[in-house]
A = this chain, B = another copy of it.
Amino acid sequence: MKRPLIVGVMGGGKASPEDADAAYRLGQLIANQGWVLLNGGRSAGIMEASAKGAQEQGGLTVGILPDDNYDMASAYVTIPVLTGMGSARNSINVLSSHVVVACPGGSGTISEIALGLKNNRPVILMNFDIGKIFENYRKQGVLHYEKTPEDVIEKIKKLRQIKE
């Protein structure tokens, strides 16, 4: 059996309504492609929204939780992976993703962008302005900027050379 593409969706535990809507739509589109959505697993912000979008479309959702129990896990995560290791799990989030999409977020999300780039994972920022700190990675073609969920899907197809 061919393994499905795993798309990591990172982003804040707190999200504006617009960002949550976009993450929800991104989750839907990922599921519609038959891809797996992987995120940080909690029932909050971008994590909850993206998992909800994917699972409602019948997609498989994997949540890599910082916790050692299910108390804070999103109900929309099919497979909760309990790491019990707090922020150290951020490294697993990005290593396990073929492509990382970062929605707006705070220091946790930025740590995931940084760890993704460090480990040579392609990272797509969706409507998320983080200034010029990773400009060298953009020039190398590892870091990308897109505005909408639809654009992100197209970019993933290009990066993975997926034909319609």
Query: Main SS of chain A's interface residues?
Result: mixed
Chain B residues whose C-beta falls within 8 Å of the C-beta of A108 in the assembled complex: 114, 118
Of B6, B75, B81, B90, the contact of A96 (CB 8 Å cutoff): B81
Q: Which of A22-30, A42-50, A132-140, A148-156 contacts its partner?
A: A132-140
CB–CB A82/B96 < 8 A = yes
Could you say how many copies of this chain the assembly holds? 4
A39 near B: Cβ within 8 Å? no
**Residue among A36, A108, A115, A136 with the highest chain B CB neighbour number at 10 A:** A115
CB–CB B4/A78 < 8 A = yes
CB–CB A106/B118 < 8 A = yes
Of B79, B85, B87, the contact of A86 (CB 8 Å cutoff): B85
CB–CB B131/A132 < 8 A = yes
Residues 73-115 of chain A, each 1 if its beta carbon lies under 8 Å from chain B, else 0: 0011111111111111111100110000000001110110011
Chain B residues whose C-beta falls within 8 Å of the C-beta of A60 in the assembled complex: 60, 79
A130 near B: Cβ within 8 Å? yes
Q: How far is the CB of A148 from chain B (nearest CB, A)?
A: 22
A33 near B: Cβ within 8 Å? no
CB–CB B88/A84 < 8 A = yes
CB–CB A82/B92 < 8 A = yes
Q: How far is the CB of A18 from chain B (nearest CB, A)?
A: 19
CB–CB B88/A91 < 8 A = yes
CB–CB A119/B68 < 8 A = yes
Q: Which residues of A come within 8 Å of B, CB atoms? A: 1, 3-4, 6, 36, 55, 60, 62, 64, 68, 75-92, 95-96, 106-108, 110-111, 114-115, 117-119, 130-134, 136-137
